[in-house]
A and B are shown apart, each in its own frame.
Chain A
Amino acid sequence: MASRPLRHSDAQVIRLPTPLRSVDARREPVEAAELWVGVHAGAVNAAAALEKLATRAQKYTPRVSLVPPDGLVLEVQGSLHLFNGVDGLLRSFAEDCRTAGLESALALAPTPLAALVAARVGAPFVVTNKAQLTGRLTSMSLAPLRWPEDVIERLARMGVRTIGQTLRLPRAGFARRFGPAHLAELDRLTGRNADLRHRFQPRERFRRRRELTYEMENNATILAALAPLLTDLGRFLQTRQVGITELECRLRHRHAPPSVCVLRLAAPLADVPRLTELLGERLNALVLPEPVRSLELRSGLPVLRELNSNPLWQPGEYGGRAAGSESSQLIERLRARLGHEAVYGLQVLQGHRPERAWSMCEPSIADAAASARGGHGGGAGARGTASANTRGPRSSRAATPWDAFRRPLWLLPAPQQLDELDGVPRRLGSLRFFGEVERIETGWWDGGEIGRDYYTVFDIYGVQLWIFRERATPHRWFLHGVFG
Chain B
Amino acid sequence: MAFNPELARLLEHPAIWRGTSVARTDVLSSGFLALDERLPGRGWPRNGLIEILASRFGVGELSLLLPALAALTNAPMARTSAWVAPPFEPFAPALTAHGVVLEHVLVVRVPAALRGGALWAFEQSLASGACDLVMTWAKRPQPKEIRRLQLAAERGRALGVLFRPMQALREPSHAALRVAIEPLTHGVRVNLLKSKGGVRGSVELDLAAAAHDLTPVRS
Residue ranges of A at the interface with B (Cβ–Cβ < 8 Å): 314-316, 320-323, 326-327, 329-331, 333-334, 337-339, 341-348, 354, 357-360, 363-364, 366, 370-384, 386-387, 390, 393-394, 396-397, 400, 402-405, 407-413, 461-465, 481-484
For A357, give its contact among B78, B92, B208 (CB under 8 Å): B92
A363 / chain B contacts, CB cutoff of 8 Å: 80, 106
List, sorted by A's number, 17 A–B pairs whose CB atoms are closer than 8 Å. Answer: A315-B77, A315-B157, A322-B80, A327-B80, A338-B110, A338-B117, A342-B109, A345-B102, A357-B92, A381-B99, A397-B99, A408-B94, A409-B94, A410-B62, A410-B88, A410-B89, A483-B58
**B97 shortest CB reach to chain A, Å:** 3
A315-B47 Cα distance, complex, nearest whole Å: 13
Contact B88 A380 (CB under 8 A): no
Q: Which B-chain residue is minimally distant from A314 (CB atoms)?
A: B157
**Most B CB within 10 A of own CB, among A334, A348, A373, A396:** A334
Give the shortest distance, in Å, between B57 (CB) and chain A (any CB): 7
Cross-chain contact A396 with B214 (CB below 8 angstroms): no
Contact call A343/B106, Cβ cutoff below 8 A? yes
Q: Looking across the interface, which residue of chain A has its beta carbon closest to that of B215? A: A390
A345 to nearest B CB, angstroms? 6
What sequence of 0s and 1s flags, for each residue 174-188 of chain B, a beta carbon within 8 Å of any chain A beta carbon? 000000001110000
Which of B11-19, B129-137, B195-203 is the contact stretch? Answer: B129-137
Chain B residues, Cβ within 8 Å of A331 = 106
Within 8 A of A (CB), among B37-74: 43, 46, 55-63, 66-68, 70-71, 73-74
Cβ contact within 8 Å between A342 and B108: yes
Instruction: Judge whether A320 and B58 touch: CB under 8 Å.
Output: no
Chain B contact residue count (CB 8 A cutoff): 75
B92 and A347 contact, CB distance less than 8 A: yes
Given A339-B111, A348-B93, A413-B89, are A364 and B103 also a contact pair (CB < 8 Å)?
yes
Shortest distance between the CB of B84 and any CB in chain A (Å): 9
Interface flags for B80-117 (1: CB within 8 Å of A; 0: not) read 10000011111111111111111111111111001001
Whether the pair B132, A316 counts as a contact (CB closer than 8 A) is yes
A334 touches B111 (CB 8 A): no
Is the CB–CB distance between A346 and B107 below 8 Å?
yes
Shortest CB-to-CB span from A349 to chain B, Å, is 8
Distance in angstroms from B186 CB to nearest chain A CB is 10
Complex contact A380–B71 (CB within 8 A): yes
Given A347-B102, A379-B99, the answer on whether A371 and B212 have CB atoms closer than 8 Å is no
> Hey, which bits of chain B sit against chain A, CB under 8 A?
28-29, 31, 33, 43, 46, 55-63, 66-68, 70-71, 73-80, 86-111, 114, 117, 120-121, 124-125, 128-132, 157, 182-184, 208, 211-215
Q: Cβ of A346 and Cβ of B77 under 8 Å apart? A: no
Contact A329:B89 (CB < 8 A) given known A366-B80, A371-B78: no
- Closest 4 A/B residue pairs (Cβ): A379-B99, A462-B183, A404-B97, A358-B92
| A402→B128 CA distance, assembly (Å) | 36
User: CB within 8 A of B125: which of A330, A397, A465?
Assistant: A330
Q: Which residues of A contact B109 (CB under 8 A)?
A: 338, 341-344
Q: Are A371 and B77 in touch, CB under 8 angstroms?
A: yes
Let me know if B74 and A390 touch, CB within 8 A: no
With the chains together, A382 CA to B73 CA distance in Å?
10
- Residues in B neighbouring A327, C-beta threshold 8 A: 79-80, 128, 130
Given contacts A381-B214, A413-B89, 17 further A-B contacts (CB under 8 A): A322-B77, A327-B80, A334-B121, A346-B90, A378-B74, A379-B98, A393-B213, A394-B212, A396-B99, A400-B96, A409-B66, A411-B89, A411-B91, A413-B88, A463-B56, A482-B58, A484-B58
Given contacts A366-B104, A387-B33, A405-B208, contact A374 B128 (CB under 8 A): no
